[in-house]
Amino acid sequence: MIAAPLVALVLAGIAAASPAVPPQPKAKNPQCNFWANVRDRFINEIFLGVCAQDVHSMVRISFHDAIGFSLHSEKGGGADGSMIKFQDVELKFPANEGVDFIVSFLQPFADDLGISYGDAIMFGTAVGMSLCPGAPRLPAFVGRPDATRAAPDKTVPEPQDDLTTIFARMADAGFTPTELVHLLASHSMASQAGVDPSPDLLGAPFDSTPFDFDSQVFLEVMLRANSFPAGGSGPNLGEDMSPLPGEFRLLSDRLFARDSRTSCAWQENALNQTAMASNFAAAFKKLSLLGQNQAKLLDCSELIGTPPPAKNKQAFFPAGTNHDLIEQACATQLFPTTLSTVAGRATPIPVVQLQDCPTCPTFKRRA
Ligand code: HEM
Ligand SMILES: *[C@@H]1O[C@H](CO)[C@@H](O)[C@H](O)[C@H]1NC(C)=O
């Protein structure tokens, strides 16, 4: 849990400047008109026009909501918004630590618009990702009915779980280890607050470019590491040593990059950003439809804008690192020596700041 005074302190430092949001596509299908307004309100009121903390939180809640699903037993209704509707149950699960923050924004927002929580999560995530450099355009289906039940505990993998357990849980929901790696491109725009709750590590990012959907996380997790982040209390459960000052590495991510079941898919994502983006879009579409009947939903993907291009076409070695630090695991392809290396000494990567929601005074913050 983040202490309230700390949240206030961090929020006080947020600049309220609104960047220029590119013009958004008009609805061709008249049934999507309503959703064009929802989109614009998401951009202006929740995301404040930028790919930052609130987009990150949306992508995370998408996963945690949708993965409450099983092909073989009763584990919830999938991408149904149960994380919000049954928040009294689901937000208490340890794996959902920190998800309460975006729920406190989304619930009053969805209620105000009269949209289901499942649509708020998945449509909102597609809208949010359209602001992120390098991201794919995500499909946007709407019309999910209200959730009818809470998902049980233990549907969301945790970073201290062993990989066989994680792969089994993902398979139970219909995903292969390779598809999981594809979904983990999300950790390219991500930070932590709960694995190490130390104040200095609130928002410690998983890669050096947490506001871009790029391959850096895949490359950086492959690097040899020898210390826990300064200012933190590492080692913590689910934490691994990190290769760069200010960076945070999850134990599960280190293992995915080095396990024979996932290391080649991991390396492919490190080396090919185009493939990484299209792999993510395909796996995320599947995630967004878990427990839903696509034929009963309305496809308003035409409303989703084209994300800005990635700042760099290829992953690079951040200052202070180089190819010698790559821990090669994929047995069928060597990591190439051609990627560029930034000269100089490593500089600490800043934390990802929380975003306020100044235009929505009715949105409650958690106590
Ligand atoms: C094995 C699977 C996974 C594990 C063990 C895992 C674990 C974690 C953990 C521990 C955090 C940090 C939470 C915190 O302390 O605040 C995190 C953040 C995040 N995860 Fe995952 N994750 C997994 C898969 C996924 C998937 C499949 C997605 C989405 C498709 C996802 C999206 C995110 C995002 C966007 C964040 C950053 C949230 C933020 O910056 O506020 N994760 N994950
Ligand atoms: C990267 O992936 C894309 C899409 O899968 C593919 O068309 C392209 O050939 C790949 N590029 C390289 C350099 O392998």
Can you tell me whether residue 335 is helix, strand or coil? Answer: coil
State pLDDT tens for residues 236-251.
Answer: 999 999 999 999 999 9
Domains and CATH numbers, the chain: 33-325 (1.10.520.10)
Predicted TM-score (pTM) of this structure: 0.94
Mean pLDDT over 23-39 rounds to 97
Q: Tell me the C-alpha to C-alpha distance, in Å, between residue 146 and each of 35, 139, 149, 291, 292.
A: 17, 20, 9, 12, 11
Contacts of 305 (CB under 8 A, 6+ apart): 22, 24, 25, 130, 131, 137
Query: pLDDT per residue over 173-226, tens digit each?
Result: 999 999 999 999 999 999 999 999 999 999 999 999 999 999 999 999 999 999
73 labeled part of a ligand binding site: no
Q: Region 253-271: what's the mean pLDDT?
A: 98
Mean pLDDT (the chain) is 93
Active-site residue among 56, 64, 72, 182? 64
Distance 199 CA to ligand 1 centre (A): 19
Taking CA atoms only, the protein residue closest to ligand 1 atom 14 is 192
Q: Is the CB of 209 under 6 A from ligand 1?
A: no
